Amino acid sequence: MARTTRASRSPDQPDPPRGVTRTTASVDPSSTSPALPPESSPPELIVVGHLDAGLHITPTGATAAPGWELGELATIAADPAFTLEPLFGPSEARVRASAPEAATAAQGVPLGLAMAAFYRVAAPEASFSELQELATRLLTSPAVEAAYVKPSSSAPVILDGAPAVVATTDAPPETPDFTARQGYLDAAPGGIDARWAWTQPGGRGGGVRIIDCEWGWRFTHEDLRVNTGGLVAGTASADTNHGTAVLGEISGDVNAVGITGITPDAVISASSFTSTPSATAIRAAADRLGQGDIILLEIHRSGPGANGSGQDGFIAVEWWPDDYLAIRYAVERGIVVVEAAGNGDRNLDDAIYDRSLGFPAWWRNPFRRRELDSGAVVVGAGAPPSGNQGPDRSRLGFSNHGAVVDAQGWGREVTTTGYGWLQGGTNEDLWYTNDFSGTSSASPIVVGAVAAVQGALRAAGRPPLSPARARELLRATGSAQQDAPGRPATQRIGTRPNLRQLIPAALANAQWTGTQFTGSLGPNATARWFTFGWPAHWHVVWTALPTSPRPGAPQISFRTRVERASDAHATYWIEITNLTNTPVNVEGRFAVLGW
């Protein structure tokens, strides 16, 4: 139940973040930057100014507020071999102004102010080790709070066991119907019951916009020609298989050939990491969407303790402060962000993720969801029901796991567009696969489930799920994770969505009334009560009533004001005035009209 207190002060808050000791190491020494595979981006050097330094950096130099020395920052900013630019916009002032008002990056740190302090250092000719050396130099500047190198990122797809080449036989004159292979569309628990959702108003995702953030896509594919918005930010890669496979799962066209997406009526677009830092691409996607829309993050990178072998130790990107801020920015705008947990076979509850690698003082491990919470829905990879990969819904060995993981999707045997292993030939617009995999294939399934719910809510004239409510419902419904030998369900990847449960839960409506608080007012006095922790998706009406009978004239007046304290919760302020010259007792009553 929501809690109430008299408004003599703000509600108790957690202790503000404590400072962290600056380290000279800008990255984990065990992190490496191997030769880049397809669908990947090179390392990124990020520098963060002190919040009070008033930095202004242009392509030709840097300035700071009086009293702040620039040191090596000025030298590097003026060096034509490097380019320093604000990470989140054309200028620091515009970044500060663009963030939702009152949104915070961390306790007490405004989101816009934090974002404006982040810069990307572009050094096209620099190696990974040279970027580390640059970060160390930048950390000597008094105006620099943090500098770190993000290892190269890639798409979280598993290609072991896949054919080495595409099918060489040309496609037939008409592509067969592959929808029978799309078991993830089937009834729960094997699938998410998308076929049932299609029978519900809005259940195909009508009115919902989705942006997939990764590298390349083939929007000319024969099964991706309806409800696709194309590339909206960045420059697409020529390697299009991965993005094409993702689009097919979510938005494959309704026709007699190939596959059908989970939500074919949703409009899906793309924002590319190919020429743009990951945080910039995420923010660009958020600027093109609105409340209830969805961003998908098809990316992971090597975290602390990664051994440099394949994708071992790769983790969800929200762990890096700039990506965290970009996700937070989207969530504060009411956009549901779905993020791959990564294929690193790591326990994201591990204390190794608590340590800062040259990050700003406000940073805390967002996998804990205590002092920092990105607000994203994090997705793990589960086994499909075939039994070929272990028990249905059990954690696949490569999938990261932990308390932060909210839901799972199929991490193997996904039939969709692209790759050419199921149907190949010389024309890539006709390619299909029957083994898309990884948290790459799992995350689009969760996106499709959320889009189906948002479409159903829009069709019913209801507000869309907020990011927090989407996460809550995904955790409260669905088909439970199962044990596998050596991979017990305690290694959490969450439940597989079940739309036959999820849509009714989102549409459920309950009503009730109650008395939240009582008090007393002196003659002609005014007092204010606040009550906090109310779920923001509830529809609540407040009334104040005198309980001291005195007929003949009005005794009190009242007004209600509302604070959206977070994405998940609202605070109500009820101000009551005694209109008489004698004391009066009052009570505050609420009516929940729907939730």
Indicate whether 12 pLDDT > 80.
no
Highest mean pLDDT among 17-26, 155-164, 260-269, 548-557: 260-269
Tens-digit pLDDT profile for residues 18-75: 222 223 333 443 344 334 556 889 999 999 999 999 999 998 899 999 999 999 999 9
What letter represents residue 90's amino acid?
P
* Whole-angstrom distance, CA of residue 490 vs CA of residue 482: 9
Q: Is 17 helix (H, G, I), strand (E, B) or coil?
A: coil
- Here the tokens at position 528 are 């204010």
**446 and 250 Cβ atoms separated by less than 8 Å:** no
Amino acid 417: pLDDT? 98
* Whole-angstrom distance, CA of residue 50 vs CA of residue 426: 54
* Whole-angstrom distance, CA of residue 146 vs CA of residue 356: 10
Amino acid 159: pLDDT? 85
Mean pLDDT along residues 324-347: 98
Confidence of residue 8 (pLDDT cuts 50, 70, 90): very low
- Of 375-384, 398-407, 466-475, 508-517, least confident by mean pLDDT is 508-517
Amino acid 587: pLDDT? 96
* Whole-angstrom distance, CA of residue 448 vs CA of residue 502: 12
Amino acid 164: pLDDT? 61
Amino acid 15: pLDDT? 31
Tell me the β-bridge partners of 571: 563
Tell me the β-bridge partners of 516: none
Neighbours of 165 (CB within 10 A): 9
The candidate with the shortest Cα–Cα distance to 46, out of 27, 32, 71, 29, is 27
Whole-number CA gyration radius for the chain: 26
Note if the pTM is more than 0.75: yes
Report the length, in residues, of the chain.
595
What letter represents residue 451's amino acid?
A
The candidate with the shortest Cα–Cα distance to 457, out of 261, 250, 205, is 205
Mean predicted lDDT score pLDDT of the chain = 91
For residue 523, the number of C-alpha atoms closer than 13 Å in the C-beta half-sphere is 2
Mean pLDDT along residues 129-147: 96
Name every residue whose Cβ is closer than 8 Å to that of residue 423 and which is 6 or more positions away in sequence: 167, 171, 175, 176, 178, 430, 431, 432
**564 and 527 Cβ atoms separated by less than 8 Å:** no
Amino acid 324: pLDDT? 98
- Of 22-26, 161-165, 310-314, 499-503, least confident by mean pLDDT is 22-26
Tens-digit pLDDT profile for residues 190-226: 999 999 999 999 999 999 999 999 999 999 999 999 9
Amino acid 36: pLDDT? 52
Tens-digit pLDDT profile for residues 463-503: 999 999 999 999 999 999 999 999 999 999 999 999 999 99
Amino acid 160: pLDDT? 79
Indicate whether 3 pLDDT > 60.
no
Tens-digit pLDDT profile for residues 531-589: 999 999 899 999 999 999 999 999 999 999 999 888 889 999 999 999 999 999 999 99
The candidate with the shortest Cα–Cα distance to 338, out of 156, 570, 67, is 156
- DSSP strand pairing (314-315 vs 300-302): antiparallel
**173 burial level (CB within 10 Å; 0-12, 13-18, 19+):** exposed
Maximum alpha-carbon separation in the chain: 92
Full 3-state SS string of 438-493 = CHHHHHHHHHHHHHHHHHHHHHCCCCCCCHHHHHHHHHHCCECCECECCECCCCCC
Q: Is 317 helix (H, G, I), strand (E, B) or coil?
A: helix
Confidence of residue 103 (pLDDT cuts 50, 70, 90): confident
The candidate with the shortest Cα–Cα distance to 57, out of 150, 120, 134, is 120
Amino acid 100: pLDDT? 84
Amino acid 106: pLDDT? 86
